[in-house]
Structure 1
Amino acid sequence: MELSLKGRTAVITGGETGIGAAITRALAEAGAAVVVGGILEEVGTTFARGLAQAGLTVTFQKTDVRKEADVNALVDGALRQFGAIDVMVNNAGVFDGFADCLETTEALWDQIIDINLKGTFFGCRAALKHMVTRGSGRIINTSSVGGLRGAADGLSYTASKFGVVGLTRQLAVTHTQYGITVNAICPGVIQTDIRGNSAAILGSDGPDMQKGVGSDPDAYKRLVPAKRKGTPEEVASVALFLATDAGSYISGQAIAIDGGWTAT
């Protein structure tokens, strides 16, 4: 089956960098009109412009997923421009630098939960208002191996990503009957700049993002059977599959893209 999204519209949060940027490109190259919502305005504008110049239908709108009004405006704008939303990818997220419980401040906890979990909830709710009426849709939420294992990340990040998996499963149970699939992708060790981007977004609330880095940068090789980091494109290929008709009977799943990490 061809992985085509011709004639369809996708909205993605956090689609301007890293895994999100790879998903944006994959959806657009499959034929979708993609509306990217992100907080890094200069980066997002430049990224979307480059894809548009390459002949793809991609636009960018500054969006802070901590604010429901911003998320609603992103979805409403896509509806006005393209008439429908077929795919919603809730990808916006930040990292907590492996901060454990005693290192996690209230401010850091609130920021991580608000962006990673509440922002995903806002995106799902905004999309579902439209998708339920249409009787079709694809929702893809970005969780993490940190949403499947307790030893992968810091406290607030782990809590937020486990929350995304739970949210995804509950929505699948309650909304698949309306022709809407809801799934989570769970990347493992992927080649991105999540630390740098998270530091820029969290500002003074952010922890030391270099914790766990430097003394043994190859430690992941003891955890990951593939003995390498994954690429954003490898994650994007799974998101694309779930977004197309090929994934029409998959719902409520948390799919690890981790080089075998969770099999150990």
Structure 2
Amino acid sequence: MTDLKNRVAVITGGESGIGLAISRTLSALGVKLVIGGILEEEGKRVAEELNAGSPTVFVKTDVRSESQVESLVKEAVSRFGKLDIMINNAGVYDGSASLMDTKEGLWNQIIDINLKGCYFGCRAALRQMIEQGTGGRIINTSSVGGLRGAADGASYTAAKFGVVGLTRQIACDYSELGVTVNAICPGAIETDVRKNSGAILGEHAVNMNRGVGSDPDAYKRTIPARRRGKPQEVADVAVFLASDAASYITGQAIAIDGGWTAT
């Protein structure tokens, strides 16, 4: 069902958290992988780890730059001859900042990384997939915060709702070419997103220790599963969407949230 051996994938933000779990799972299935990310030390370490099993390279990439995202896709094609799977996963958290606590600098960074970076990745991947004429898989990382309010902050919610809308529109425009486009929407997952977001946002960072995922009592009250999810549980859904078994699934926003959106 998930025979992906010798497929070629690009993943942004594939060096940490959910992205790292996806990278490891794809590599274990024999996928040739190009990881683009801003955390250079972590990225190089992950590429070295995974390259022992399946060809993997890391390219330092800031998804706020269209030219860097385009170069990332070109690197994959140059090294491996094609692009089968694009996973736009790079993202940062806004510390659940309310609108009045969201200064313009924070807003711009969250939108640029979480939404515009996804737009750049989709465009670069579509261009290559259309040229190849063999279809492909695009998977965008949204969030429970892209499906409902009261999950995250103002800028993060706006960006992640935007990712879902962008995903659905691209699916409507390009699915007849054999390119499926779907969004995964993780809930409270055990990652270092708060620490990494603070480092990436720099002077624009706010208090990251807020929100459902930071308070055990809050997520036990809010999430029917009464626990946080594991990155692998998200990775398994992403990898399924990248496989031939998901060829008739497109334009969907799939929650991996322990039942949060069912409440």
Matched with 1:208 is 207
Aligned-partner residue type, residue 125 of structure 1: R
2:72 is aligned with 1:65: no
Cα offset, 1:58, TM superposition: 1.4
Distance 1:12 1:222, change over 3 A: same
Aligned-partner residue type, residue 245 of structure 1: D
Residue among 70, 87, 90 paired with 1:89: 87
Matched with 2:22 is 23
Aligned-partner residue type, residue 190 of structure 1: I
Distance 1:214 1:194, change over 3 A: closer
Matched with 2:194 is 195
Matched with 2:219 is 220
Aligned-partner residue type, residue 103 of structure 2: T
Matched with 1:12 is 11
Residue among 64, 74, 87 paired with 1:76: 74
Matched with 2:33 is 34
2:239 is aligned with 1:243: no
Cα offset, 1:217, TM superposition: 3.0
Q: Distance in 1 between matches of 2:146 and 2:213?
A: 25
Q: Distance in 2 between matches of 1:44 and 1:235?
A: 20
TM-score in terms of structure 1 length:
0.97
Moved more, 4-13 or 207-216: 207-216
Cα offset, 1:31, TM superposition: 1.4
Cα offset, 1:213, TM superposition: 7.8
TM-score in terms of structure 2 length:
0.97
Distance 1:164 1:215, change over 3 A: closer
1:162-181 to structure 2, matched below 5 A, reads 162-181=161-180
Q: Distance in 2 between matches of 1:14 and 1:228?
A: 24
2:162 is aligned with 1:134: no
Aligned-partner residue type, residue 260 of structure 1: G
Aligned-partner residue type, residue 10 of structure 2: V
Cα offset, 1:212, TM superposition: 4.4
Cα offset, 1:11, TM superposition: 0.2
Secondary structure of the residue aligned to 1:26 is helix
Cα offset, 1:57, TM superposition: 1.9
Residue among 118, 121, 125 paired with 1:120: 118
Q: Distance in 2 between matches of 1:165 and 1:216?
A: 26
Cα offset, 1:215, TM superposition: 9.0
Secondary structure of the residue aligned to 1:218 is helix
Give the gaps of 5 or more residues in structure 2.
none
Cα offset, 1:86, TM superposition: 0.1
When the two chains are superposed, the root-mean-square deviation of aligned CA atoms in Å is 1.3
Distance 1:51 1:6, change over 3 A: same
Residues 29-86 of structure 1: per-residue CA shift (max 9 Å, x gap)? 1111010000000111011111123x22211000000001110110001110011000
Q: Is the 8 A contact 2:151 2:212 kept in 1?
A: no
Identity value in percent = 65
Q: Distance in 2 between matches of 1:211 and 1:185?
A: 22
Q: Distance in 1 between matches of 2:141 and 2:213?
A: 27
Q: Distance in 1 between matches of 2:223 and 2:3?
A: 32
Count residues with an aligned counterpart: 262
Distance 1:216 1:195, change over 3 A: closer
Distance 1:112 1:222, change over 3 A: same
Secondary structure of the residue aligned to 2:174 is helix
Q: Is the 8 A contact 2:188 2:213 kept in 1?
A: no
